[in-house]
């Protein structure tokens, strides 16, 4: 006969195995990789061609590859940095990111619908330059989220921020501040409707991190940031000695989603 103590030991061991399994599974949760494509344009003809390509060829082809949500954004009125289009692509794995373009070349519908863009002549290019940024999602937000907004897309404001640091060490410190310092949680508590938070692993402004928050309007955005600036938790976090001097430059870009954007 098995003793009561043996039963208790076995039960404890069994529960331990379950906890270890759940912990391992949680640790293995895959963080997304993101790609941001920034098309630099000169003419309205280029912009119209790019819109046609993105809406009718590129986004539908990515959807067929299982990439459900792709964001397409343009600067708000009054932006002075030139004509640009931002495309945000979330990939579940590095393999998916690495092989997406190759798989598109085997998609006949994509090649047909995007023919005007894909086969543009050397002296009739579809854009001036194409800038690409590759990012890895933060541990505290491992996947992108479609914002819960009520306003029409034309009224919404998407705020893309890039925080540069003086050194790699300071950049890691700012990443730590977002995750272990609970800055991500603070944004969530205050209703910033973030699309993503991520560290840049390839780009032209490294070392840096980037994130995107969203609002129903510019007034809504200003109200949220005013609340954030005066929040006691933020003031406490900002004053901590271990998080000093970890941002040397902040770029803030205001965008609005196109009518065909998934975000």
Mean pLDDT over residues 163-187, rounded? 98
Q: Where are the domains of the chain?
A: 33-257
Alpha carbon distance 226, 234 (integer Å): 12
Length of the chain: 263
Q: Quick check: 113 and 57 in contact, CB under 8 A?
A: yes
| Pick from 8-22, 120-134, 186-200, 226-240: least confident | 8-22
Please compute the mean of the pLDDT values over residues 87-115 and round it to a whole number: 97
pLDDT at 25 over 80: no
Architecture (CATH level 2) of domain 33-257: 2-Layer Sandwich (3.30)
Q: Rounded to an integer, what is the distance from CA 193 to the centroid of its chain?
A: 12
pLDDT, position 78: 78
> 43 burial class (0-12, 13-18, 19+ CB within 10 angstroms)?
exposed
Over 50: is that where the pLDDT of 10 sits?
Answer: no
Q: How far, in Å, are 39, 113, 114, 119, 243 from residue 49 at the CA level?
A: 12, 12, 9, 12, 45
Q: Is the pLDDT of residue 155 over 60?
A: yes
What share of the chain has pLDDT > 90, as a percent?
A: 85
pTM: 0.87
Backbone angles phi and psi of 74, in degrees to 5: -130, 150
pLDDT band at 227 (very low <50, low <70, confident <90, very high): very high
């Amino acid at each position: 006969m098995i003793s009561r103590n043996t039963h208790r030991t076995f039960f404890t061991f069994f529960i331990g195995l379950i906890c270890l399994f759940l912990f391992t599974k949680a640790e293995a949760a895959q963080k997304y990789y993101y790609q941001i494509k920034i098309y630099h344009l000169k003419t309205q003809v280029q912009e119209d061609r790019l819109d046609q390509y993105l809406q009718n060829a590129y986004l539908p082809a990515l959807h067929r590859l299982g990439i459900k949500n792709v964001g397409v954004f343009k600067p708000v009125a009054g932006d002075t940095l030139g004509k640009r289009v931002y495309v945000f692509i979330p990939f579940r794995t590095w393999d998916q990111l690495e092989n997406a373009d190759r798989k598109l070349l085997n998609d006949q519908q994509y090649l047909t619908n995007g023919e005007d863009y894909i086969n543009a002549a050397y002296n009739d290019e579809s854009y001036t330059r194409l800038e690409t940024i590759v990012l890895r999602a933060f541990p505290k937000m491992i996947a992108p989220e479609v914002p819960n907004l009520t306003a029409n897309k034309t009224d919404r404001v998407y705020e893309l921020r890039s925080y540069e640091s003086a050194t790699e060490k300071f950049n890691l410190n700012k990443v730590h501040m977002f995750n272990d310092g609970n800055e991500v949680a603070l944004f969530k508590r205050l209703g910033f409707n973030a699309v993503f938070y991520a560290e840049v692993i390839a780009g032209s402004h490294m070392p840096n991190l980037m994130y995107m928050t969203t609002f129903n309007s510019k007034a809504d955005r200003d109200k949220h940031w005013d609340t954030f600036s005066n929040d006691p938790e933020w003031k406490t976090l900002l004053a901590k000695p271990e998080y000093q001097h970890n941002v040397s430059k902040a770029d803030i870009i205001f965008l609005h989603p196109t009518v065909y954007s998934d975000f």
